[in-house]
């Protein structure tokens, strides 16, 4: 049973650029949730995908978008990066919307300069 | 008002001490409650779920008071390895409700 893998682990981007973060879900899981954790804060929910469809979204602007693929892996895309987007981005995979618990990846640390 | 509120600390305690963390939540529809542990620059990991009857796992005891919308975590006989940030987390009862995290309480156990 493999865990949740996120890539890249670290990334530095310039303001205004676009970024794609990737997450491979745990074997047998069909739901992926993305969270943003700024320094000194708790993780904030961005959105959730269940069987390739977005089925929940937090208070993030449309420039945050995502995809889930048939193998349940997922991408988070952020356009027009802003300095405040600098954070740890966490992916959590689960079975059936997290009703049986979540497994978090180790995150991607994004720095926007 | 934040949906989940915690005292951010830091709590600096000597080894062997007992320490308690508190958390309040604002959404009365919340149905599931957890404590997660997060080490510096790592992902959160589930420490324990919290049940209405209270539950214990070794040195860790969690309590839930639904009427007061209050959750607690007690750590007895603190170890150096308990140093981490403890996140209070709640979740609603429908399929697409996410985990809602508090800001976390930082604990440092000192030798």
- Chain A residues with CB under 8 Å of B95 CB are 50, 55, 96-97, 99
CB A87 within 8 A of CB A21: no
CA-based nearest residue to A37, from B74, B38, B34, B81: B38
Q: Phi, psi at residue A83, to the nearest 5°?
A: -55, -35
What pLDDT, on a 0 to 100 scale, did the predictor assign at position A110? 98
- Residue A75, strand partner residues: A22, A67
User: Do the bridges between strand B105-110 and strand B11-14 make them parallel or antiparallel, or are there none, so unpaired?
Assistant: parallel
Q: Which of A48, A96, A106 sits opposite B43 (nearest CB)?
A: A106
Distance (Å) from the alpha carbon of B102 to chain A's nearest alpha carbon: 6
What pLDDT, on a 0 to 100 scale, did the predictor assign at position B95? 67
Q: Is the pLDDT of residue A1 over 70?
A: no
**Mean pLDDT, residues B4-28 taken together:** 95
In chain A, pLDDT over 90 holds for what percent of residues? 88
Tokens representing B74 are: 């007690």
Q: Is the pLDDT of residue B93 over 80?
A: no
């Amino acid at each position: 049973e493999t865990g949740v893998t996120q890539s890249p682990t670290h990334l530095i981007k310039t303001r205004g650029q676009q970024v794609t973060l990737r997450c491979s879900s745990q074997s047998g899981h069909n739901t992926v949730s993305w969270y943003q954790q700024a320094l000194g804060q708790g993780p904030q929910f961005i959105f959730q995908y269940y069987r390739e469809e977005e089925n929940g979204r937090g208070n993030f602007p449309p420039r945050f978008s995502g995809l889930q693929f048939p193998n349940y892996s997922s991408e988070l895309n952020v356009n027009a990066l802003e300095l405040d987007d600098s954070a740890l981005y966490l992916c959590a995979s689960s079975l059936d919307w997290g009703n049986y618990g979540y497994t978090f990846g180790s995150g991607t640390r994004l720095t926007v300069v | 008002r934040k949906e989940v509120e915690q005292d951010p600390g830091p709590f600096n305690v000597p080894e062997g001490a007992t320490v308690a963390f508190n958390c309040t939540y604002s959404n009365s529809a919340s149905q599931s409650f957890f404590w997660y542990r997060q080490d510096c620059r790592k992902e959160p990991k589930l420490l324990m779920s919290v049940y209405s009857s209270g539950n214990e796992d070794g040195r860790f005891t969690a309590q839930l008071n639904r009427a007061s919308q209050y959750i607690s975590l007690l750590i007895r006989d603190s170890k150096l390895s308990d140093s981490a940030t403890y996140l209070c987390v709640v979740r609603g009862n429908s399929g697409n409700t996410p985990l809602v995290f508090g800001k976390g309480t930082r604990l440092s156990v000192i030798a």
